[in-house]
Amino acid sequence: MTSKQESHLFVLIHGLWGTPQHMGSLEESIRNYIDPRENALFLLPSQNSKFKTFDGIEILGYRALLEICQFIRKHNNSNDSKKKQITKISIIGYSLGGLVSRFVIGKMFTECAEYFEGIEPVLFLTVASPHLGIHFFNPSSSIVRAFLNPVLTTLGSTALGKSGRELFIANRYSSILVQLSEGEFIDGLSKFKHRTVIANVKNDRTVAFYTAFITNHDPFMETGNTINYSFETNIPGSGYSFSLPKIVDLTQLDPSDKRIIESKPMSLNSKLKLYLLLPCLFLFFFPIVLIVNISGTLYRHFATIKYRRMIKNGDLPNEFRERIGISDRLETYVSGQYESILKENDNEDDDLITNDNDADLINSGDVYSGSIDNNTTLDEINSEDQKWQEFIKKYSTIVDDENTWFERFDNLPFDNKRSTILKNLSALNWVRVPIYVKALNAHGGIIARTGIHESTQPSSVAAVQFVGQIVNYLTSH
C-alpha cells in the first residue's frame, strides 16, 4: 500500500484512430474502485491522437514516453508541499495502445532510467490488444473468409500507415512486434509485479481472441462462434451496476457443444432496409472511409520523414538518450526536435492532463473515493479477497500444461514471427481474462469507448467495472 507521502501514477494509452477521451470510462472506473490510500494520479497521453496513430509503434512510443517523463519531472520536482512523490507506476493500454505501452516499458528503464529511479512498476494491463499482431485466420475454411481475408489484410496494411504494416507484420521490414518480445522490452515487462490481458471472445472485429489472449488457440474463431459458453459463477468484485461481467470459463468449452441458433425469417421491411443499406455501404461509406484513411496515411508519411530517417540511421535513440537526461531542457528538446510530430503546448499544466475538469484534483494528488465501504465487515472483506485469490490463481495458469481445455482445439498456423512472439511472451506469467461483451462492436464496447450512457450495453458497463476492480485488487496486493 502506498504511504501518505507517496502517489501511484496510472498511465492509460488509447488505440488506433483513438483519442484520450476513449479511455475516459476506464479512468472513471479505476478512480471509483481504487483504494484511496494509493493516492492515485492519472495521465492520459494526448500527443498520439487520430491520424498520428498511423505513425508506427516506435514513434508513438517515444511521444508517450516524453509525456510521461514530463509529468513525473513536473510532479516530483514541484515545490507544492501537498503533492506526494510518485513512487509507483501502472500502465494500461487499449488495442494498439497495449503495444505502444510495451515500447514505453522497454525504454523506461534504459533511455529514461533517471526518471523512473525509485518508482516501482506495479501493473501492466492491456484490453483487446493485438500482442501477436493481426491476421485473419480461416480455420473453418469459410469461402467468404477465404476471399475477404487477403483483401482486408491488404487494406489494413496499406490504409493504416506504418502502424498497419506493423500490426499485420506485412513484410520483412515490419518486425517491431518481434523486437517488443525481446531484449529491453521483455526485461522491462518482467519488472512489473503483475501482467494482465483481457480479451474479447466474440464480436471483436479488429482484434481476435487469440492475439489479445496471447495464445495459439482460438475456440471461438475455430467454431465460427457457435460454441456454447459457460460463464464463471463466482465472479469477484462488488457494486456492479446492472449485471456481473461475463467471464467465459474456458475449461468448460466443448467443441461438440454448439449453441442452438434459431433462424428467423426476415420480414419484408427488414429485407428492404438491408437491400438499401448494402449499396449505400459499398458505394458511399466504405469508399469514403478508405479515401480518408489513405489520405491520412499519406499525410503522416510526409509529416514523419525526418523522424523515420532518424530511426533508419539509428540516430534517434542516441539523440533521445542524450537529451532526456537534461531535465531542464526537456521541453525545449520536445518542441525543437519533434516540431513536426509533437504539437507545441501553450499551457504546460494542461498538456499533461486530458481531462480539464479534473486537472486541479490530479495535479494536487488528492485521492478519490474507493470501493471499500466503511460499513463492510471483516468477514466480507476476507470472503471477497478469497474470491479474488481463487480467480487470479485460475486465470494465471489458464494456458499452463495442467489445463487441457486447449487440447480440444487445433493450433493456429502461426508463421515464425508469431511463434517467436508467443514463445517469448509466454516466458512471463500473465493473468489472462476472456470476457464476453454483448455488442455489435465488442472492440469498442469492452472499454465503453464512447462513454457510458443509457444505451450502453449492460455487459459493456460490467466489463469496464470489472477492469476497475481487478486493477484495484492487483495494485493493492
Three-state SS sequence of 430-468: CEEEEEECCCCCHHHHCCCCCCCCCCCCHHHHHHHHHHH
- Look at residue 343 and tell me whether its pLDDT is greater than 80: no
Q: Does 1 map to a domain?
A: no
Least confident of 11-20, 104-113, 146-155: 146-155
What does the alpha-carbon distance between residue 86 and residue 413 come to, in Å, rounded to a whole number?
A: 44
Catalytic site includes residue 95:
yes
Contact present, 46 and 20 (Cβ < 8 Å): yes
- Look at residue 7 and tell me whether its pLDDT is greater than 90: yes
Indicate the length of the chain as a whole number. 477
Indicate which residue of 95, 163, 181, 476 is catalytic: 95
Tell me how far CA of residue 113 lies from CA of 124, 324, 387, in angstroms: 18, 10, 37
Highest-confidence segment of 116-125, 253-262, 339-348? 116-125
- Look at residue 348 and tell me whether its pLDDT is greater than 50: no
Q: Does 33 map to a domain?
A: yes
Least confident of 49-53, 358-362, 389-393: 358-362
Which string of DSSP letters, residue by residue, matches 364-419? HT-----S--TT--HHHHHHHHHHHHHHHHHHHSTTSTT--GGGGSPPP---HHHH
Tell me which residue range forms the domain holding 33. Answer: 6-475
Q: Does 396 map to a domain?
A: yes
Q: Does 20 map to a domain?
A: yes
Mean pLDDT of the chain: 81
Which has more confidence, 259 or 266? 259
- Look at residue 269 and tell me whether its pLDDT is greater than 60: yes
pLDDT above 90 as % of the chain: 51
Q: Does 213 map to a domain?
A: yes
Residue whose entry in the numeric block shows the C-alpha cell 485460475: 394
Beta bridge partners, 89, equal 9, 121
Instruction: State the pLDDT at residue 405.
Output: 92
- Look at residue 473 and tell me whether its pLDDT is greater than 90: yes
pLDDT above 70 as % of the chain: 68
- Look at residue 314 and tell me whether its pLDDT is greater than 80: no
Which has more confidence, 87 or 347? 87
Find the mean pLDDT for residues 21-35. 96
| pLDDT tens column, 392-437 | 999 999 999 888 899 999 999 999 999 999 999 999 999 999 999 9
Q: Does 133 map to a domain?
A: yes
Number of domains in the chain: 1
Residue whose entry in the numeric block shows the C-alpha cell 493481426: 134
C-alpha cell at 83: 503533492
Which has more confidence, 471 or 258? 471
What does the alpha-carbon distance between residue 125 and residue 91 come to, in Å, rounded to a whole number?
A: 6
Which string of DSSP letters, residue by residue, matches 198-252? EEESSS-SSS-HHHHHT-S--HHHHTTT-BPP-B-SS------SSS--EEB-GGG
Instruction: State the pLDDT at residue 242.
Output: 87
Q: Does 232 map to a domain?
A: yes
Instruction: State the pLDDT at residue 49.
Output: 82
Find the mean pLDDT for residues 277-301. 64
Q: Does 469 map to a domain?
A: yes
Least confident of 27-36, 212-221, 401-410: 401-410
| pLDDT tens column, 444-459 | 999 999 999 988 999 9
